[in-house]
Amino acid sequence: MSDFDRNYASPFGQATTRADAAAVDAGLRAYMLKIYNYMTIGLAITGLAALGVYMAAVTGDASGAAARIGANTYLTSFGYAMFVSPLKWAFILAPLAMVFVISFGIQRLKPATAQMLFWAFSALMGVSLSSIFLVYTHTSIVRVFFITAASFGALSLYGYTTKRDLSGMGSFLLMGLFGVIIAMLVNLFLQSSMLQFVVSVIGVLVFAGLTAWDTQRLKSEYIYGYASAGGEAAERTAIMGALSLYLNFINLFTLLLQLLGQRE
């Protein structure tokens, strides 16, 4: 935000002096950096958890294997429990339950507790996503991850720097999000490849918009003083901001993987 001036006006019209603008600029940078750091650590935990579960779930040794999934690849008993048995639904649904716990309980939680819940959620998400290593080639997973990272970075930068007020997009994007979720649930029963393709394309557009919108929302929350006062409230707000951006990244990644990933 190097464009602060003596008569600087925030993106939403709040005028400040040069000294005030410099203070807000420094604080905002620190606040957003904290959010991105939380998000990045969460993504690292997710990746390590997913890879760890996958490595423990597969083996090349047929003796004692629980199931065969490829020419020379077998599931261990742990892998069978994680990917085949009904236990898999517990790990698929656990991240969703954790999101509700964090979102609705954040105001009553100590920042340290909220932070630990975020790390636990990130690990559970990794366990839930570990099956992608069985479905897609590892090369395509890495490729789509970097495509997602580049796209997310550009969209978040746009949300941070644009002078356009994106708040009007919020309700439209949230309606689109609910539509995508409903369509995904319906397709669990229909198993339509065409519907899956349409949902993936629309989902990418929705989460691309949410990335820019959430970034500007977090920025405006700081500028208007909701997070700039410091203390536990600011820390909780940063954790929730990291959770929002983390979810946007994960959903962009999984949807792009469905569109661009090469299956095993």
Q: What is the mean pLDDT of each run of 10 residues along the chain (264 residues)?
A: 41 53 78 95 97 91 75 84 87 85 85 93 95 93 97 96 89 89 86 90 95 94 68 86 96 95 84
Q: What pLDDT is recorded for position 32?
A: 93
Q: What pLDDT is recorded for position 23?
A: 67
User: How many C-beta atoms surround the C-beta of residue 248 within 10 A?
Assistant: 24
The answer to the question of residue 9 being in a domain is no
Task: Give long-range contacts, CB 8 A cutoff, 24+ apart: 186-191.
Answer: none
Q: What pLDDT is recorded for position 227?
A: 52
The answer to the question of residue 246 being in a domain is yes
The answer to the question of residue 54 being in a domain is yes
Token pair in block for residue 199: 């949902």
One-letter amino acid of 256? L
The answer to the question of residue 2 being in a domain is no
| Radius of gyration of the CA atoms of the chain, in A | 21
Q: What pLDDT is recorded for position 206?
A: 95
Q: Tell whether pTM > 0.95.
A: no
The answer to the question of residue 10 being in a domain is no
Q: Which domain holds residue 159?
A: 18-260
Give me the number of domains the chain comprises. Answer: 1
Rounded CA separation 104/100 (Å): 6
Q: What pLDDT is recorded for position 148?
A: 97
The answer to the question of residue 8 being in a domain is no
The answer to the question of residue 56 being in a domain is yes
Rounded CA separation 75/69 (Å): 7
The answer to the question of residue 232 being in a domain is yes
